[in-house]
Every structure is written in C-alpha cells, then in structure tokens.
Amino acid sequence: MTKKSQALFLLYLFFSISLMTLQGIKGPVQPLFFIRYPLNYINEAVTSLVHYIKKPFIVAMLLERQNEQLKKEVDALLLKKQEYEEKSIENERLRELLKLKKEMPEYVATARVVSKNPDIWSKTMEISKGYKDGVQKDMAVRTALGLIGKIKKADAHYSTVLLLTDVSSSVAVKSQDNRTEAILTGLGEEYCSLKHGRDMEEAAAGDTFITSGLDLMYPAGIPVGKVISAEKNPSMFEQDIKVGLFADPLKIDEVMVITRRRDM
C-alpha cells in the first residue's frame, strides 16, 4: 500500500470514528440538518426582497384609493358649499322682496320663475302663481331691482309674463334726472329703446328712467333702467336711445306681481 493510500485510509478511519462518536453522543446524523439554516436564510432574504419590491406598489395603490376617497369627499363638500351659497343668495333675494312687499300696498303675490322663452320675437316667462293666487291679466311684474313686464295670461296656478324686452311691449316712463317723458319699447334684445319723448335730445348716457304711470297700466315710480347710449339719428329728428334694464330678465329667479291700487 502506498503512502498516499495509507493517508486516505487513515483520514477515512478518522472521519468514521468521529462520526460514530458524534452519533453516540447526539444520535443519528441528519444530512439536511446542516443545510437547513442556509436554506432558511435564503428564503427569508428572498421574502424580504419581494416585500421590498412590492412595498412601493402597495403604497401607491393605497394612496390612489385614499386620493379617490378624498376627491369624493371634496366634491361632496363643494356641492354642499354651492348649495349653501345658492340658498344664501336666494334667501337674500327673498328678503329684498319681503322688504319691498311691506312697503307696497299694491302687492299681490311672490312667484318663482318656472321657465323662460328665448325666442327673439317672443320675450316671455312662466311664473308659479295664477288667478287662484290673485294674479290677473295686465298686472305689473317686478323684482326688487325694477320692472320686468306685465301678466299676459293667467291660468289657475301659472301665469305668462310679457317682458319689457318683447317687441310688442311698451311702458310710459320719465327721467329721474330731468323729468323727460318717453315711451320705452322692447327690441327683442337685451336692451330697450326710448321713443316719442319730448326733448329727447336732452337724454344722455347714465340717465335713469322710472315708470310715469301715464299709460294707466303700470304704477308710477317703479325703477326701469338706465340709458346706455344716446346718439343723434341723422335721418330723423330724434335720438337713438338704448336703455339697459335694472332687472335683467335672464338673471331673474323670483318676481313680485303688483296692481295699480296705489294710483286708483
């Protein structure tokens, strides 16, 4: 036997004796026992790595859900805020009408605007009060700001208002500044025109006009509008005068119906 073989034999014999001694002390040797800890370590490392990679995506998903929920809550709060502001504005308008009602013995009813006719040739609106509420044809209709028209037709619970801007509408007015009298007529547009007035050349931009009561239709003294332009018409002997109404029919939600009782 060579020296190399003897060395290997002695090493094998030493390993065998050591293994038998270990088995005698610890019991049978389990080969997987020695690789269990490295495997557990690798498993924990892989699990930690996966968690580390997934964590930003999980956080992003949670943040997205939170953002969606917060957006819904913000939208709900904005809606409530808008409703509150609209109610506040409506209450303010109604308070103005109530204040006006106490000062006007000719008051008949307060109504909501139900619909508006945008036709250029027929400027009308429907309101929520009719003859069962005391509303009658030709009664004046106004807001806290000023006159807007008259009752064209009264049904049981609804009425049609002919607006001042209608081409068939007219009202006797006078200037608060120089007492000039005129007839305000509708043009089918957002403003009206002054016609047939004496000394119309004295009218100027900024002049304020109120109802004169001379047409026996509207009570006297109701604010109507202000001159926005007054230009000399070269082909006629009078001015082209345009008047902007104090109460814009397109921006009205509530109105007041009145009679001519004050003038009777």
Three-state secondary structure string covering the chain: CCHHHHHHHHHHHHHHHHHHHHHHHHCCCCCCHHHHHHHHHHHHHHHHHHHHHHHHHHHHHHHHHHHHHHHHHHHHHHHHHHHHHHHHHHHHHHHHHHHHHHHCCCEEEEEEEEEEECCCCCCEEEECCCHHHCCCCCCEEECCCCEEEEEEEECCCCEEEEECCCCCCEEEEEECCCCCEEEEEECCCCEEEEECCCCHHHCCCCCEEEECCCCCCCCCCCEEEEEEEEEECCCCCCEEEEEEECCCHHHCCEEEEECCHHHC
Q: Give me the chain's average pLDDT, please.
A: 80
Q: Which two tokens stand for residue 123?
A: 């400027």
What's residue 147's pLDDT?
95
Rg (CA), the chain: 45
Q: What is the pLDDT of residues 23-71, one digit of tens each?
A: 555 555 555 555 565 666 676 777 777 777 767 777 778 878 888 888 8
More confident residue, 123 or 239: 123
Rounded CA gap, 54 and 15, in Å? 48
What's residue 200's pLDDT?
61
Confidence band, pLDDT 50/70/90 cuts, at residue 250: confident
Confidence band, pLDDT 50/70/90 cuts, at residue 264: very low
More confident residue, 97 or 198: 97
For the chain, what are the domain ranges? 107-263
What's residue 24's pLDDT?
57
Confidence band, pLDDT 50/70/90 cuts, at residue 263: very low
Domain 107-263: assigned CATH number: 2.40.10.340
**Which residues, other chains included, contact 169 with Cβ-Cβ below 8 Å and sequence gap of 6+?**
123, 149, 150, 162, 163, 185, 186
Q: What is the pLDDT of residues 137-195, one digit of tens each?
A: 999 999 988 999 999 999 999 999 999 999 999 999 998 888 888 999 998 888 899 88
Q: What is the pTM of this model?
A: 0.62
Closest by CA position to 248, among listed 184, 167, 163: 163
Residue pair 190/250 in contact by the 8 Å Cβ criterion: yes
What's residue 31's pLDDT?
54
